[in-house]
Amino acid sequence: MRPSVGFAAVKLLEDAGCIVEAPVQTCCGQPAYNSGDRGTSKDLAMRMIETFKDFDYVVAPSGSCAGTIRKHYPELFEDDPNWRTKADALASKTYELTSFLVDVLGVTQVDAAFDGTVTYHDSCSSLRELHVKKQPRKLLASVKGLTLVEMTDSDVCCGFGGTFAVKYSDISGAIVDAKARNVDATHAPTLLAGDLGCLMNMAGKLSRDGKPIAVRHVAEVLAGMTDEPAIGLAKDVGRK
Amino acid sequence: MSARDEIFANIRRSLGVKGNETIRKQIVQDRLERAPRGVIPTRGQVSGEERIALFKTMAEASLATVTEVSSAADVPQSIALFLRDHNLPATLRMGDDLRLKAMPWGETTLEISHGPSEGGDLNAVSHAFGGVAETGTLAMISGPENPSTLNFLPDNHIIVVSAKDIASDYESVWNRVRFAFGKGSMPRTVNWITGPSRSGDIEQTLLLGAHGPRRLHVVVVREQ
Amino acid sequence: MNVHSTSPQFKQNAARALHDAQLQKALNNVKQGFIDKRKAAADKLPEFEALRDSARDIKNHTLEHLDLYLEAYESKVKASGGHVHFARNAEEAREIILEICREADAKTVTKGKSMISEEIGINHYLEANGIRPIETDLGEYIIQLRNELPSHIIAPAVHLNATQVEQDFRRVHTHLDAKRDLSEPVQLLTEARAVLRERFLAADVGITGANFLVAETGTSIIVTNEGNGDLTQILPKTHIVLASLEKLVPTLEDASQLLRVLARSATGQEMSVYTTFSTGPRRSGDADGPENYHVVLIDNGRSSMLGTSFEEMLRCIRCGACMNHCPVYHAVGGHAYGWVYPGPMGAVLTPSLIGVDQAGHLPNASTFCGRCESVCPVRIPLPKLMRHWREREFERHLTPASVRSGLSFWGFFAKRPALYRLATRAAMAGLAFAGRQRGRFTWLPFSKGWTKYRDFPAPQGETFQARWQRERKGKTA
């Protein structure tokens, strides 16, 4: 969808002294897992476990992917001690990007500038599965020129929920409507979050409502890589 | 098979219980005997004046009013004053509690009646078994001394509690109940009361005096 | 037969709820009040998290020894002069209750708030048998006048506004002056108090639920703020306690641990106003209290949940925190769930009690945002248990065909990295090309649900893997 997020993550990790590799991979399996398809989920989890077994750390610019690996892979192999050990090993070295930078690498500031006010949405997976709340805010505070204004209920779900957004579109629509109002009420021209699913949902709603708010992954701002148009925009026409 | 037997059989089957249950029975027996206390908040773990002060703060936070008197002999005057200050009639209903009966009600103009409430009483006084400082809660025990109806039917409920009976935590009250009634036995009713009756059922707006008393007034008796 | 369910029509129920202006206005009362109050209460007690662990452990321990604690409880109730009845299901429970009411020659029955009584549909049954049940909790009284189910487990009338309550009172309390002022909530409360006071005093039987049952002493515990539960049980000659099996705890100490998390999680109070411990009928010399004390222990599906992954649901103490914090509940309210228990706890419990074929929507209608689990006082992993239901549905082929085929289509590629790479590259390139003008789509095939409410942002065009191969691997290879 948005390779610039991955490249922003790579830049942040390399700036912090990491050697980054991106082995060929598909998906962590969360869509299947949350739809009740345990078989496919296990299949995909095993692939992931094998793919990443020789790395020191696995970092995802996504709370929901990292959360799936950290919290749910061990649950998937509850009855399989052999794979459970492997799943635990992967889980314990997998991190969401900002939490890896702050909690593991001890990064306190990033070398980036962003001229403007932003507001930040806490994705549910990051916040409640991985306890990511202070880390992105700490890093954003070090971006030159950036001001963070908190929205009301930044910790409340945006209504995405994977297939929920399509299966229960009426309810999802109502939830994202409330989120969009809270975003808009901050008057911040830019909305940031750490999960592409939430970002797509909120960006799609804001553009549908005609709100000229630029929506970006937090990594893009932290890496100073905001040349690409914001999510859902042909070119950057965000509120200034 | 009776409903009872089938339910027990189903529980045991679901739990995978078969055959020898000596260990399970021992575990259960042990827990019932020992009654471990669990996590007790440090908030209430204070004594003396500090504990009384905490009780008062917490009771007031629950929207009760609290007054202190230095001896049981001062209770009637204090209650008479409370009723007058709130423009309430000088009537008072109470049970047969000996501590209450021994108080000099004759020194006031209060019209005293005795026995359980039948619904028409505006004011009642009860004597608490104890209090709990942790949350400003009063522990009431049913019986001829303090009928349960007095806790709920009158508009204004006054509870007298001895300072020495105010405990740090609920568990200390349970210890006293066990001492008074025997381990494993209880009076018909124990009421923990924390503030006056209220409801938030209409638009989540807090309103006092739903079905029980609109006012809860606590008189703490300081003498030992 | 349990109470009738409209859970299969969840989507229609939800759509109706979203367009119900009165409901949406009332739901605003849930969104902040409960959440802020709970947080303040939790923050004020440094031991709150440790108490949640303690509460969870007590419930787990009890469930693992449920048969033995039930036996202990039963013998203590009998020793205190009470009667214990066991009911396998709703029908048996209703028959037992009716029989006790008939023995008491009951004409009217007052009722304290009890979710299990909603589950077994006791009110309609009593009415059909000539006995008048009167709900006495203010919220329950209001919804009884409207012939509705509660929309929330601790705030049954939370879906209503004061003006609606006023209309109901005017419709039903016809003996009162038609010109009376009922514009303030306190006037509604005062009127209900007066009407119900007479009912309390006249009732022949009082039925309450139980928040907890104590094995050590044979005690049943109810928690209320209004005092209605107490007037229900101390005034009539007969007190009937209805409780499902999992309400048991070992000791008074254990009950005290759970009480420390219950009110704080529910309403943010340090302790509810009235916590009442009842043991048997009135004692000799007692000036008041019921002469007969009956406990009806109801299974209705619980014993079969033990030993399964849904056993954890039996820890639930019915505080309502999960629904208070649920974005889906906030959006559609409780009635949309279509049965007795709404919100996240209902989404897990309802399929256990009425079948996942009936209630299959409920565990699916969640974003898995996890806020419910984060506030549950007994740490029930609600999203995990909803996911377990989704797995059961998938195994039993109850998952909608469109979802199944979409998943297997996607799964086919996800299991084949080379194909996945090609497919995602093609899809991203295609979508980016098609969306290059506006950067978004207002319509896409197979995405009606998404594009009904929001645009679909166009991708950048390349996949991460493709660009990575091009920029990095190209350099090193």
Yes or no, beta carbons of A208 and C455 under 8 Å apart? yes
Contacts of B5 (CB under 8 A, 6+ apart): none
Q: How many CB pairs under 8 A join A and C?
A: 204
* β-sheet bridge partners, residue B216: B157
Contacts of C141 (CB under 8 A, 6+ apart): C134, C135, C192, C196
First to last CA, chain B: 59
Distance of alpha carbon C109 from alpha carbon C202, whole angstroms = 9
Task: Write the residue in A7, A156, A162 that is nearest to C327 by C-beta.
Answer: A156
Whether the CB of A227 is below 8 Å from some CB of chain C: the reply is no
pLDDT > 50? residue A238 = no
Q: Mind telling me how many Å the CA of C406 is from chain B's nearest CA?
A: 37
pLDDT tens-place string over residues B70-90: 999 999 999 999 999 999 999
Task: Write the residue in B10, B24, B191 that is nearest to C65 by C-beta.
Answer: B24
Residue A240, pLDDT score: 42
User: Which phi-psi region, left, alpha or beta, contains residue A29 (left: φ > 0; alpha: ψ -120 to 50)?
Assistant: left
Residue C346, pLDDT score: 98
Q: Which of residues 166-185 of A touch C (CB under 8 A)?
A: 166-178
Both structure tokens of A101: 């930078």
Distance of alpha carbon C38 from alpha carbon C44, whole angstroms = 10
The residue of B155, B188, B205 whose CB has the most chain C CBs within 10 angstroms, and thus the best one to mutate to test that interface, is B188
Both structure tokens of B104: 């000099």
Distance of alpha carbon C327 from alpha carbon C371, whole angstroms = 9
Residue C53, pLDDT score: 98
Residue C407, pLDDT score: 81
* Torsion angle (degrees, nearest 10) of CA C155, C161, C164, C166: 90
Residue A236, pLDDT score: 44
Q: Are residues B82 and B184 in the same domain?
A: yes
Q: Are residues B48 and B84 in the same domain?
A: yes
Distance of alpha carbon C331 from alpha carbon A116, whole angstroms = 33
The pTM of the full predicted model, rounded to 2 decimals, is: 0.95
Contacts of C356 (CB under 8 A, 6+ apart): C363, C389, C392, C393, C396, C398
Q: Are residues B128 and B82 in the same domain?
A: yes
* β-sheet bridge partners, residue B221: B69, B162
Yes or no, beta carbons of C230 and B191 under 8 Å apart? yes
Question: Residue B81 is which amino acid?
Answer: L
Yes or no, beta carbons of C226 and B189 under 8 Å apart? no
pLDDT tens-place string over residues A31-72: 999 999 999 999 999 999 999 999 999 999 999 999 999 999
Task: Write the residue in B151, B174, B201 that is nearest to C252 by C-beta.
Answer: B174
Q: Are residues B118 and B178 in the same domain?
A: yes
Distance of alpha carbon B77 from alpha carbon B103, whole angstroms = 10
Both structure tokens of C29: 């009362």
Q: Are residues B30 and B101 in the same domain?
A: no
Both structure tokens of C254: 């254990």
What share of chain A has pLDDT > 70, as a percent? Answer: 98
Domain ranges of chain C: 7-303, 414-476
In chain B, the number of structural domains is 2
Indicate the SS3 state at residue C320. Answer: coil
State the DSSP string of B153-182.
SSSEEEEEEEGGGEESSHHHHHHHHHHHH-
**CATH code of the domain containing B126:** 3.40.50.10420
Both structure tokens of C428: 């991203």
Q: Are residues B193 and B215 in the same domain?
A: yes
Distance of alpha carbon C224 from alpha carbon C277, whole angstroms = 12
The residue of C97, C213, C234, C299 whose CB has the most chain B CBs within 10 angstroms, and thus the best one to mutate to test that interface, is C234
Yes or no, beta carbons of C442 and A177 under 8 Å apart? no
Please list the pLDDT of chain B residue by residue as tens digits (224 residues).
Answer: 899 999 999 999 999 998 778 999 999 999 999 999 999 999 999 999 999 999 999 999 999 999 999 999 999 999 999 999 999 999 999 999 999 999 999 999 999 999 999 988 999 999 999 999 999 999 999 999 999 999 999 999 999 999 999 999 999 999 999 999 999 999 999 999 999 999 999 998 999 999 999 999 999 999 75
What kind and span of H or E run contains C43? helix C33-44
Both structure tokens of C460: 């950048």
Yes or no, beta carbons of A26 and C374 under 8 Å apart? no
The single-letter DSSP state of residue C244 is E
Physical contact, A and C (3 or more Cβ pairs within 8 A): yes
Which one, of A205, A179, A171, A152, lies nearest residue C329 by Cα?
A: A171
For B8, the domain range is: 1-34
Whether the CB of A76 is below 8 Å from some CB of chain C: the reply is no
Residue C402, pLDDT score: 80
Physical contact, B and A (3 or more Cβ pairs within 8 A): no
Distance of alpha carbon B194 from alpha carbon B216, whole angstroms = 9
Question: Is the Cβ–Cβ distance between C444 and C456 less than 8 Å?
Answer: yes
Q: Are residues B165 and B77 in the same domain?
A: yes
Distance of alpha carbon C368 from alpha carbon A197, whole angstroms = 13
Which one, of C356, C348, C264, C259, lies nearest residue C312 by Cα?
A: C348
Q: How many CB pairs under 8 A join B and C?
A: 271
Distance of alpha carbon C340 from alpha carbon C5, whole angstroms = 8
Yes or no, beta carbons of B38 and C253 under 8 Å apart? yes
Task: Write the residue in C160, C234, C304 that is nearest to B10 by C-beta.
Answer: C304
A111-119 mean pLDDT? 95
What share of chain A has pLDDT > 90, as a percent? Answer: 88
Tokens 């896409």 identify what position? Answer: C444
Yes or no, beta carbons of B189 and C234 under 8 Å apart? yes
Indicate the SS3 state at residue A35. Answer: coil
Angle CA A178–A217–A200, to nearest 5: 50
C235-252: burial string, b at 16+ Cβ within 10 Å, e else: bbbbbbbbbbbbbbbbbb
Would you tell me which CATH number, out of the four given (3.40.50.2000, 3.40.50.10420, 3.30.420.40, 3.30.9.10), belongs to the domain C7-303? 3.40.50.10420
State the DSSP string of B70-107.
SSGGGHHHHHHHHHHHTT--SEEEE---HHHHTS-GGG
Yes or no, beta carbons of C299 and B12 under 8 Å apart? no
Q: Are residues B5 and B60 in the same domain?
A: no
Q: Are residues B15 and B95 in the same domain?
A: no
What backbone phi and psi angles, to 5 degrees, belong to B130?
-170, 180
**Touching chains, B (3+ CB pairs < 8 A):** C
Q: How many residues does this entry show for chain B? A: 224
The crossing angle, in degrees rounded to 10, of helices C48-64 and C66-79 is 90
Residue of B nearest to C143 (CA): B201
10-residue stretch averages of pLDDT, chain C, 477 residues long: 86 96 92 92 98 98 98 98 98 98 98 97 97 97 96 96 96 96 96 96 98 98 97 97 98 98 97 98 94 98 96 98 97 97 98 94 96 98 97 88 81 82 83 81 79 88 86 63
Question: Residue C365 is which amino acid?
Answer: A
Residue B224, pLDDT score: 57
Handedness of CA A123, A125, A126, A127 (dihedral sign): positive
What is the pairing mode between strands A94-96 and A144-148?
unpaired
Structural domains in chain A plus CATH codes: 3-102 (no CATH), 107-222 (3.40.50.11810)
Task: Write the residue in A37, A228, A234 that is nearest to C394 by C-beta.
Answer: A37
Q: Are residues B62 and B125 in the same domain?
A: yes
